[in-house]
Amino acid sequence: MIKKLLLFTLLLLPLITVQAQAGGVSHLEKATFAGGCFWCMTPPFEKLDGVKEVISGYTGGRTVNPTYDDVTSETTGHLESVEVLYDPKKVTYQKLLDVFWHQINPTDAGGQFVDRGSSYKTAIFYHNEEQKKLAEESKIKLEQSGRFDKPIVTEIRPAVPFYRAEEYHQDYWKKNPVRYEFYRNNSGRDQYLEKIWGKDTAMNTPVTEAKDTYHKPSQAELKKILTPMQYKVTQENGTEPAFENAYWDNHQAGIYVDIVSGEPLFSSLDKFDSGTGWPSFRKPLEPGNIILKEDHSWFTTRTEVRSKHADSHLGDLFHDGPPPTGLRYCMDSAALRFIPKADLVKDGYGKYAKLF
């Protein structure tokens, strides 16, 4: 009986081997790229058929298990990077290289777009000699294309230990679509890539749906995504100059959201010209997102307006507004982001489109 089972197994073994080779589990390979902010480098690769996972992390430096603060201090030698796990039977390394070149400015040796410093430099980290060969060939081809008027400075380096970034950085574009879209739109990346490659490129990664939950990012993130004035107003209770801000004279239809969290705050339908030089509103769009606090810091009692979820300082409330409320929510433009009515659906605020 044992001999019969052994013979049966031996007869089946070639068939099992052929089937495994033909349709078995594919072997995944790694590709590692540094292209500046890893938030922006993740979506283009994740959208490729054959890519199993894209991990945000740090590589190329000296420090073991670095943190985000360590890396951005520019003392570790690490670069913000992404590690791409892919099935070579479904997507080639050449395709990954093509996507990579379409995300970056390869002529910038000082960082990428709004992010400056050595941790934001570009590089290709190869895992074997074949990847090295293909990377070098793609770089030469790009140099010879005449597309750039400066030398290409992207380095091609051997892969070294890769350290996974903090969990809040993983798939940031999915977890925080509003903040991601704001950062990307203001980073200068897409504007540059459209100029170099045109609109029909692999870099187009629109976010079409936002979550109905709003959170305050870490201080490290805030310093990255906010301008100095936005940070001063929202985090340090500052005030921007009257008549010298983005929205005091804005007459477009749309809504205003918290620059930090994206939570909806006011509508253009309730905006009025107060003559003060700051955007003013009769009432909030979402009263539940507004917190009022007594402020005694200016030798008088005022009513400070803050956002509920991000706890951003927004401005002050006065009782000298027009009917029917008699209220004037005097806001700082630096605390707000304006979403035109044409972009409400695209930016994840579709439920407010019916207002207009």
Helix or strand run (H / E) with residue 179 = helix 177-187
DSSP 193-209: HHHHH-SSSTT------
> What are the backbone angles phi and psi of residue 242, rounded to the nearest 5°?
-65, 145
How far is the C-alpha of 211 from the C-alpha of 15, rounded, in Å? 50
- Peptide bond between residue 340 and the one before it cis (omega within 30 degrees of 0): no
How far is the C-alpha of 120 from the C-alpha of 61, rounded, in Å? 12
How far is the C-alpha of 117 from the C-alpha of 209, rounded, in Å? 32
Contacts of 52 (CB under 8 A, 6+ apart): 28, 85, 86, 87
Q: In this structure, how many other beta carbons lie within 10 angstroms of the beta carbon of residue 308? A: 17
Owner of token pair 């590709």: 31
Query: Is 40 among the catalytic positions?
Result: no
Query: Is 37 among the catalytic positions?
Result: yes
Catalytic residue among 255, 257, 330, 334: 330
How far is the C-alpha of 17 from the C-alpha of 20, rounded, in Å? 5
CA-based R_g, the chain, Å: 26
Nearest C-alpha neighbor of 45 from the set 93, 12, 1: 93
How far is the C-alpha of 121 from the C-alpha of 55, rounded, in Å? 18
Q: Half-sphere exposure (CA, 13 Å, Cβ side) for 78?
A: 28
Q: Rounded to the nearest 5 degrees, what angle is found at the Cα of 25, between the Cα atoms of 19 and 31?
A: 140
Catalytic residue among 31, 34, 37, 202: 37
| Residues classed as catalytic | 37, 330
